[in-house]
Amino acid sequence: MDYQNLLENIYYQVKNQPNKGELATYIPELARINPDKFGISLQFLDGQSYNIGDAQEKFSIQSIAKVFAFSLAISLVGKEIFKRVGVEPSGNSFNSLVQLEYEKGVPRNPFINAGAIVVADILISNLKNPKEELLLFIQKAAGKKIEYNLQVAQSEKSTGFRNAALANMLKSYGNLENDVENVLDIYFHLCSISMTCEELATSFKYLCNGGKLITSDERLLTLSQTKRLNALMQTCGFYDEAGEFTYKVGLPGKSGVGGGIIALYPEKFTIAVWSPKLNVKGNSLRGMKVLEQFTTDSQLSIF
């Protein structure tokens, strides 16, 4: 199949449709992004690489970075992590206080905000320099230098009142071991990581390759951990639109309110899309369309 031609057809088909949706204006730095930015990167495990549009421009990957944090945490503590965070879809807003109280301080999954805050706490408890070591883990996956966007991190902090409330509620239930401010600092930096579509697609290849890096064969996760993480992305990776994504796209993946989406087909490929305008569920409007069209036209889905 001519994948470059396929991507180009999908790109221009989606680009020529009205660019509806809204930017994530509740994070000031994200409100400044050009809403017409649009890029796609398709990376096969055998080295084939296809890019179009703004695929080489860095953007804030936001909640997509929660996958890296969870990967590092489960590699450190194993299945013990599931004593503190669950594996069920939330069915509610990703920053719901009501659900966390209802669940008595145990977040539904590691990809909603409360779950990622618990994961940040686990990193602090198990690493000497969690902020630096998390970044090194991501750089290892990407195969190049990746950085925090300090302006975005500060923007997250200055408006992160609900996340602070979630962290304090977790602390009140005994599900945070460390100081709330320190945990939130890791969390806000995690959400500020910037990558291009190409870097993002490359960095997820270890989850496409049974937990091993393509470049060095180094294992970041066990086969079992990789299976579980991909399953979590399938069921919980798109806030409360995970069922819709599974139904329309048929790949495990993760979205972020910066407008990025990453999806993968185990042992075959990864695909990253960036378009900042979001639908009402907080997922990239164009990104969802691109991935649905891609799996339809290529007939490449896990189902």
Distances (CA, A) of 203 to 14, 180, 211, 297: 25, 30, 11, 25
Per annotation, catalytic residue among 41, 63, 71, 192: 63
Mean pLDDT (the chain) is 95
Q: Is residue 31 part of a domain?
A: yes
Per annotation, catalytic residue among 187, 192, 203, 275: 187
Percent of the chain with pLDDT over 90: 90
206 is an active site residue: no
pLDDT tens, residue by residue, 183-223:
999 999 999 999 999 999 999 999 999 999 998 989 999 99
- Pair 142, 173: CB distance under 8 Å: no
Q: Residue 45 burial (CB < 10 Å; 0-12/13-18/19+)? A: middle
Task: Give the pLDDT score at 233.
Answer: 97
Six token digits for residue 164: 């602070």
Per annotation, catalytic residue among 14, 85, 119, 257: 257
Per annotation, catalytic residue among 239, 275, 284, 289: 239
Task: Give the pLDDT score at 93.
Answer: 74
Q: Residue 33 burial (CB < 10 Å; 0-12/13-18/19+)? A: middle
Q: Where are the beta strands (DSSP E) in 193-285?
A: 193-195, 253-255, 260-265, 269-274
Q: Is residue 186 part of a domain?
A: yes
Domain with residue 288: its CATH number is 3.40.710.10
11 is an active site residue: no
Q: In what order do the strands lie in the sheet with 49-53?
A: 49-53, 39-44, 269-274, 260-265, 253-255
**Residue tagged 């421009």 (tokens):** 57
Q: Quick one: which of 257, 249, 253, 250 has its CA closest to 281?
A: 257
Task: Give the pLDDT score at 141.
Answer: 97
Q: Domain limits at 244? A: 3-298
Per annotation, catalytic residue among 66, 171, 205, 289: 66
Task: Give the pLDDT score at 224.
Answer: 97
Helical (H) or strand (E) element with 286: helix 285-298
pLDDT tens, residue by residue, 89-145:
987 777 889 999 999 999 999 999 999 999 999 999 999 999 999 999 999 999 999
Q: Is residue 16 part of a domain?
A: yes
Task: Give the pLDDT score at 220.
Answer: 97
Q: Is residue 303 part of a domain?
A: no
Q: Where are the beta strands (DSSP E) in 209-274?
A: 253-255, 260-265, 269-274
Structural domains in the chain (count): 1
66 is an active site residue: yes
pLDDT tens, residue by residue, 148-174:
999 999 999 998 999 999 999 999 999
Task: Give the pLDDT score at 117.
Answer: 98
63 is an active site residue: yes
